[in-house]
A and B are shown apart, each in its own frame.
Chain A
Amino acid sequence: MSGADGKAGRGRATALASYLLVQSLAALYFVADAIADLEGEPLGPHTVMEFLVALTLVAGIVFAARQLGRTLERLRRQGVALEAARGDFARLVEGQFESWGLTPAERDVGFFALKGLDVAEIATLRGAAQGTVRAQLARIYAKAGVSGRAQFAAWFVEDLLDGGAGRAPD
């Protein structure tokens, strides 16, 4: 997933949460101090100011908490959307492979090729000879009617750029 992004976001959220925790402690102490002052002496400018400070602190905490809550909610929604988009894209690719009439072995090789693996890597992953993989790739390109790997990948990227990952292949 957007790996680094999500992780950084979560790290920031944790830091913010720790900050909130310390802030609450400070605010609680200030509020209590203001109340104690009010008991000790009549309402003077000093006490009024203290109350204002305490109130501002508490309001700040509530706002910060609300902001953090929204950020976390957005992070989660992004994760879900990404997961869904990925699922959609995989389904699109599967559907297209099917309509091209690729064999199961060719489908696997096709997926690896789309992920950017080269012939040697695919051969190692599949435990096959490089010649076999090259032959399979050639058959895939032939069935798809594309000239090579670049056009093969572009076939799917075009769909994404059109904004319709779920568009039915024609």
Chain B
Amino acid sequence: MPGPAFRTAGPGETGGAIAPPDPWDPVVRLTHWSVALAVVVNHFVTRPGSAAHVWIGWGLMALLLLRLVWGFVGPHEARFSAFPPDPRATMSHLADLVRGRLRDYPSHNPAGAAMVYALWITLAAIVGSGLVMTGGRSPIAIAEEKAAVAAGDWSVLVDNAAEEGERDRTDARIAGELHDVAANLILVLALLHVAGVVIESRALGRNLVRPMIRGRSR
């Protein structure tokens, strides 16, 4: 026999009221996957210092800035106020996870929020150090320079070297170290992030990846 033709909304069916939104809003989804792609491509595909590498780095910077704006003007669950950094809540959430007693949060859970901020800070360090290394020159300027050098005109390099003082060169070296360290750190964090999503998905008995892609299929 079929169930009643009408039914009242069961718990969790409204979505977003108690559980994280399903799906996440399009800006969150687009920036999330674009950032992931940019990190993977710049780490494994492009040659460091190449125009493509700098282009993608600039794209990453734009994504970060857009997400920053979105954190203030986006829908409730995308705002920073919905998932403030809170180390104490993070620890108690992890303790809940170990004990197997998870509860739902309207946005990122406290451990997820801590990871989000860690990722953002590391990404900002990567972008910032990259900017120092390239002297803040835009990817188009860099591409033009490379084209000039390839054509045999080395004067641009001399001009750049003359502009750079001793301090600038030290800055660039320190920035280079930071860039390397942060680039490796972001991979470690990304792996931890994926592990966290898998563990939480299992503990909650709910796929947490799907809302970041498409949302519920009806």
Which of B3-11, B116-124, B199-207 binds A?
A: B3-11
The yes or no answer to A91 lying at the interface (CB within 8 A) is yes
A66 within 8 A of B: yes
Nearest residue, chain A, Cβ from B215: A10
Asked if A72 meets B14 with Cβ closer than 8 Å, knowing A21-B31, A21-B63, A115-B5, the reply is no
- Whether A68 pairs with B27 at a CB distance below 8 angstroms is yes
Q: Is A69 on the interface with B (CB-CB < 8 A)?
A: yes
Report the separation of the CA atoms of residues A29 and B143 in the bound assembly, to the nearest whole angstrom. 14
Q: How far is the CA of A16 from the CA of B27 in the complex (A)?
A: 9
Query: Is A83 touching B9 in the complex (CB atoms < 8 A)?
Result: yes
A90-B7, A111-B6 given; A73·B14 CB < 8 A: no
Question: Which interface residue of A69, A73, A86 has the most chain B CB atoms within 10 A?
Answer: A69
Q: Is the CB–CB distance between A69 and B70 below 8 Å? A: yes
Using Cβ atoms and an 8 Å threshold, which residues of chain A touch B136?
Answer: 32, 35-36
B63 adjacent to A112 (CB under 8 Å): no
Kindly state whether residue B85 has any CB partner on chain A within 8 Å: no
Measured CB to CB, the nearest residue on chain B to A61 is B69
B25 at the interface (CB under 8 A from A): yes
Most chain B CB within 10 A, of A24, A35, A87, A89, is at: A24
* Cβ contact within 8 Å between A126 and B2: yes
Question: With A24-B62, A28-B62, A36-B136 as given contacts, are A111 and B5 in contact (CB-CB < 8 Å)?
Answer: yes
User: Within residues 15 to 68 of chain B, which ones have a CB less than 8 A from any CB in chain A?
Assistant: 16-17, 21, 25-27, 29-31, 34, 58-59, 61-63, 65-66
Closest to A72 in B: B75
The answer to whether the Cβ of A146 comes within 8 Å of any Cβ in the partner chain is: no
Which of A76, A111, A115 contacts B75, CB < 8 Å? Answer: A76
| A65 touches B (CB below 8 Å) | yes
For residues 16 through 58 of chain A, which have their beta carbon under 8 Å from a beta carbon of chain B?
A: 16-18, 20-21, 24-25, 27-29, 32-33, 35-36
A133, B76: Cα distance in complex, Å: 49
A14 touches B26 (CB 8 A): yes
Chain B residues, Cβ within 8 Å of A33: 138
When chains A and B are docked, how far (Å) is the Cα of A86 from the Cα of B60? 44
Q: Taking beta carbons and an 8 Å cutoff, which residues of A are in contact with B?
A: 10, 13-14, 16-18, 20-21, 24-25, 27-29, 32-33, 35-36, 61-62, 65-66, 68-69, 72-73, 76, 79-80, 83-84, 86-87, 89-91, 93-94, 107-108, 111-112, 114-115, 125-127
A90-B7, A108-B2 are known; give 4 further A-B pairs, CB within 8 A. A21-B62, A62-B69, A68-B74, A86-B9
